[in-house]
Amino acid sequence: MNFRRLWAVARKEFIHVVRDARSLAISIALPMVMLFLFGYALSLDVDNVPLVVWDQSQSQVSREFVSRFSGSRYFSLRGYAGDYPELERAIDTRRAMAALVIPTDFAGRVESGRAATAQLIVDGSDSNTATLAIGYAEGVTQAFSQEVALQKVRRAGIAPLRNPLEVQPRVWFNADLESRNYIIPGLIAVIMMIIAAMLTSLTVAREWERGTMEQLISTPVKSQELILGKLLPYFAIGMFDVLLAVLMGRFVFKVPLRGSVTLLFIMAAIFLAGALSMGMLMSITTKSQLVASQMAMVLTFLPAFLLSGFAFAISNMPRPLQWISYLIPARYFITMLKGIFLKGIGLRVLALEAALLTLFGVVMVAIANLKFRKKLE
């Protein structure tokens, strides 16, 4: 390999990128915009579930029970209703997602020590939020029930019994259970996979469409030098994007970075080299910028978003999709990013993921070179 010829190709591609202001803006600004939008838009936290109440009891006990919901961070009291049709309208118009119905005999049953019931109506069109809202409501109801029972025991002059078993949960790595801390590291991997493949998916195809590929073939530049020379400028841009994404994750979204920054960037470089080579392979195969860009979007965004474990747990997928997910490189990079960001672990734990990610990078670079050599022939 002649480094002079390699540098000449890299310099030519770099000049093209600098002169094309739109491509440069897309390659740098788009990842930041996507990270900003997805970082704030994607959230698994369910807070302030809108709630309406039909209090048929109108007693001090029922008002105390309702105050437990309105005082919780998980519910937001949006008003009161007088009948079921009014509750139905509130849910249909999305003014409320849950409705609490307290019967007329609620206070009497609570004060007499009999079992009291209250009805919770939940909009199930959003099943995830509905499930969480039901869990929150059960927690609020259980706490209220325990306090009522405790007050009765104290009034009777009996020492309250202690629970024979008490669970004291302790959350590691994400103590506040912020979904943002879980989403941002994975989002960096998904965005970099998409951007990297889209950047290089146009390089070789552009040469074919403009008729300059024949000139390059006629030069002494070898296929490996041409491929590597075209990759280098985009690799530099990609690593700059990784730096900006890590800084945004740390200082904008406040995601803790507990592990080795050096390991993070080394693995990002390997992942980026594989993703760039994958885009280059699409460009070599299709010889069309339009087809290559569309193929890059389909083969990077959908698998990286759906099958990498970023949006959905792989263990919950059907068995065939779980097998397919082993072929998705973003799966291993996301695991490494979460381990480095949140857990502060290194290669001792992440050795397998690092090895598979390295294998992906080597295989993609090799296939791109092999495929382009066939085109030269």
Tell me the pLDDT tens digit for each residue of 231-255.
Answer: 888 899 889 999 999 999 999 989 9
Q: Is the pLDDT of residue 374 over 50?
A: no
Report residue 98 CA to chain centroid gap.
27
Residue 164 lies in a domain: no
Q: Does any domain span residue 168?
A: no
Return the pLDDT at 272. 92
**Comparing 1 with 316, which gets the higher pLDDT?**
316
Residue 266: pLDDT band by 50, 70, 90 thresholds?
very high
Span of 16-30, 105-119, 158-172, 303-317 with lowest mean pLDDT: 158-172
Strands (E), 234-371: none
Q: Which pLDDT value is given to residue 376? A: 47
pLDDT surpassing 90 at residue 333: yes
With a pLDDT cut of 70, the percent of the chain lying above it is: 92
Residues 368 and 262 placed together within one structural domain of the fold: yes
Q: Are 348 and 205 part of one and the same domain? A: yes
- Please state, in angstroms and rounded to a whole number, the distance separating the CA atoms of residues 77 and 136: 14
Distance, C-alpha 93 to centroid of its chain: 30
What's the chain's average pLDDT? 85
- Helix axis angle for 223-247 and 21-41, nearest 10°, is 40
CB 185 within 8 A of CB 249: yes
Q: Does residue 163 lie within any of the structural domains?
A: no
The answer on 53 and 36 residing in a single domain is no
Of the residues 124, 155, 186, the one at which a domain ends: 155
Tell me the mean pLDDT in the region 358-368.
90
Residues 238 and 272 in one domain: yes
> At CB < 8 A and 24+ separation, what contacts does 350-355 make?
354/267
Query: Going edge to edge, which strands form the sheet with 75-80?
Result: 75-80, 49-55, 98-102, 119-122
In 3D space, the residue among 134, 56, 72, 70 whose CA is nearest the CA of residue 98 turns out to be 134
Whether residue 323 sits in one domain with residue 270: yes
- Mean pLDDT, range 317-327, rounded to an integer: 91
Q: Which of 10-14, 78-82, 362-366 has the lowest mean pLDDT?
A: 10-14
Whether residue 100 lies inside any domain: the answer is yes
Distance CA 89, CA 96 (A): 9
How high is the pLDDT of residue 177?
Answer: 76
- Let me know whether 200 and 308 are in one domain: yes
User: How much is the pLDDT for 163?
Assistant: 63
What are the two backbone dihedrals, phi and then psi, of residue 77, each rounded to the nearest 5 degrees? -70, 120
Q: Are residues 24 and 56 in the same domain?
A: no
Cβ–Cβ < 8 Å for 360, 329: yes
Confidence bin at 147 (pLDDT 50/70/90): confident
236 with 368, same domain?
Answer: yes
| Number of domains the chain is built from | 2
Question: What is the extent of the structural domain holding 226?
Answer: 3-43+178-376
- Tell me if 222 is assigned to some domain: yes
Residues 94 and 25 in one domain: no
Residue 131: pLDDT over 80: yes
Q: Which of 59-63, 74-78, 210-214, 349-353 has the lowest mean pLDDT?
A: 210-214
Q: Are residues 11 and 76 in the same domain?
A: no
Q: Which helix (H) or strand (E) holds 44?
A: none
| Same domain membership, residue 336 and residue 230 | yes
d(CA 4, CA 261): 33
> pLDDT tens, 172-226?
888 877 888 888 998 888 888 888 887 787 777 777 777 676 666 667 777 787 8
E strand map for 14-171: 49-55, 75-80, 98-102, 119-122
16 has a pLDDT exceeding 80: no
Q: Are residues 53 and 8 in the same domain?
A: no
CATH of residue 77's domain is 3.40.1710.10
Kindly report the number of other CB atoms within 10 A of residue 85's CB atom. 9
Determine, yes or no, domain membership for 23. Answer: yes
pLDDT at 159: 62
Q: Would you say 348 and 263 are in contact if contact means Cβ atoms under 8 Å apart?
A: no
Q: Which residues, 6+ apart, have CB-to-CB distance to 237 below 8 Å?
A: 17, 24, 27, 28, 199
